[in-house]
Amino acid sequence: MTGIPLLALAKRFGSAVRHDGAGPALRQARHYTWRRLTRRAASSLNAPLAKATGGADQYLHGVWQTLAREDAFHIQKAPAVHRKRRQIAMIADLNLPQCRKYRVEQLAAFWRARGVEFEYAHYQDIPRATRILQHATHLMEYRLQTGPAADMIRYEARRLRLPILYDLDDPLFSVSAYETYRNMEALDPRMKAHFVSEAPKYLGMMNGADIISVSTPGMAAHTALYTERPVYIRRNFADAETLDEGAGAMSQASADDGLFRVAFSSGSQGHEIDFDQIAEPLIEFITEDKDRRLMVIGHFDLVHMPPALKDQVEVVKFSEYRSYLAALRRANCAVMPLCDDVFNRCKSAVRVLDAASVGIPAIVADVGDFGQVVQHDTTGFVARTASDWLSSLRYLAENSVRAVEMGRAARSDLEDRWHQSDQAHIISPELVDWVEA
């Protein structure tokens, strides 16, 4: 019989006796021995078992039933009570690269730097998700909605007596936010209907957790309208990748071709509506000098591009992060308009962080977290009117030395205030205490 080494088994049995008592420990030992003798899996990570019980969403059902029959289903003490070490399991929707970077990988780096073990899994990777739960003291969930797989994982976490945090960086649970979200105007109406129909699933998952973390103060205020759970803030920040790749882009010398470039970046569909907010001042600025360019990076339907600008537009397709920052570095400044609606008031300032990482100033709308990150007239400008947008653009174009200084100040501020840290404006102290206490 192969499996876990005898010494490891003895240590596990001793730990079970100390934490759960002799009776439950003996029952678990008998159950393990029976599974090994009958060539069952030594853990719940058994693909044949999943197949036999009807698929991934029933992956754990057979294990649960066996544990229940053997009177070994319930854990007597929560792992966080009797373990000095802390280990976080994060189960997340990892489909979106930007979301994975800022809400999962950043968090992993943050906690590992504090000596906390951190593992994560895509919610549809049931074997890995189940495995990391078995070793965890805390569960964090990101961007999950109720459904067979997520519900099964949540049930197992409750069986293991794990405290649960739910994390979200967009108000996906909010019908009121979707209904007034201007960006939806650029999409097929069926997409909006789909998002609205999914909102209760996110709300159900969120309200089943013990505490909630979100990315901005605006998001926290809106979330509080939908839940009685405690809501805390964990802002997106400039991680090692952003700082290093940004510094790399800044170090690459490029020939000055005499053009003044204004960058507009879009990481998802629908931002043509945001662009419309500054179309008039941008047209006036770009067209008053033949050596000015609008550089569009990422997703943008050029059907919505004003005809007056088409001869002075450069388009850069979205690619991997390093290439994106290299393109952004070619600009003299970045513009970040946002419609003032409920959904956008929840937005973080990741595009500001990107611009600062390559040392260029940003002109931003006073919506979401933009105005909290940009220091007006120092690292960029906060524009509230069309006149503000036009005057800020003209100032940077006419004062090239000052524009470079503001870009450097933005980079310095990024390194000082918006890097990975446990400062209260980056992560609420209550979230640190929730894990480490």
* 53-108 pLDDT, tens digit each: 456 778 999 999 999 999 999 988 888 777 789 999 999 999 999 999 999 999 99
**Token pair 């008053």 in the structure block, residue:** 288
C-alpha pair distances (Å), 332 with each of 106, 243, 253, 356: 28, 19, 14, 12
Is the separation of the CB atoms in 355 and 362 below 8 Å? yes
Cα separation, 374 vs 254, in Å, equals 26
% of the chain residues with pLDDT over 90: 76
Is the separation of the CB atoms in 128 and 56 below 8 Å? no
Cα separation, 330 vs 315, in Å, equals 13
Nearest one of 418, 269, 30 to 22, comparing CA atoms: 30
User: Sign (positive/negative) of CA torsion 330, 336, 337, 339?
Assistant: positive
Q: Per-residue pLDDT tens for 252-288?
A: 877 789 999 999 998 777 789 999 999 999 999 999 9
Nearest one of 44, 78, 92, 88 to 160, comparing CA atoms: 78
Q: Per-residue pLDDT tens for 192-209?
A: 999 999 999 999 999 999
* Element (DSSP H or E) covering residue 322: helix 321-329
| pLDDT at 33 exceeding the cut of 90 | no
Cα separation, 29 vs 15, in Å, equals 12
Q: Per-residue pLDDT tens for 147-181?
A: 999 999 999 999 999 999 999 999 999 999 999 99
Predicted pLDDT at 304: 87
- What fold is seen in the domain 87-235+422-436? Rossmann fold (3.40.50)
Per-residue tokens: 339: 């419609």
DSSP 171-216: -TT-HHHHHT-GGGGGS-HHHHHHHHHHHHHHHHHHHTSSEEEESS
Same fold, 87-235+422-436 and 240-418: yes
Per-residue tokens: 55: 């698929």
Q: Per-residue pLDDT tens for 44-53?
A: 333 333 443 4
Nearest one of 7, 418, 115, 392 to 246, comparing CA atoms: 418
**Any alpha helices (H) in 2-145, and if so which ranges?**
6-20, 22-37, 47-52, 61-69, 79-82, 97-99, 106-113, 126-134
Per-residue tokens: 238: 């400039």
DSSP summary character for residue 56: G
Mean pLDDT on 395-409: 97
Per-residue tokens: 205: 């998952």
Nearest one of 69, 70, 66, 49 to 58, comparing CA atoms: 49
Question: Whole-prediction pTM value?
Answer: 0.85
pLDDT higher at 366 or 10: 366
232 three-class SS: strand
Predicted pLDDT at 146: 97
- pLDDT band of residue 9 (cuts 50, 70, 90) is low
Q: Which residues pair with 263 in a beta bridge?
A: 295, 334
268 three-class SS: coil
The CATH label, of 3.40.50.2300, 3.40.50.2000, 3.40.50.10800, 3.50.50.60, for the domain at 240-418 is 3.40.50.2000
Mean pLDDT over the full length of the chain: 89
Mean pLDDT on 357-367: 98
Residue ranges per structural domain of the chain: 87-235+422-436, 240-418
Q: Per-residue pLDDT tens for 315-339?
A: 998 778 999 999 999 999 999 999 9
**Token pair 């909630």 in the structure block, residue:** 212
Report the length, in residues, of the chain. Answer: 437
| pLDDT at 40 exceeding the cut of 90 | no
Is the separation of the CB atoms in 347 and 367 below 8 Å? yes
Backbone angles phi, psi at 121, to 5 degrees: -150, 150
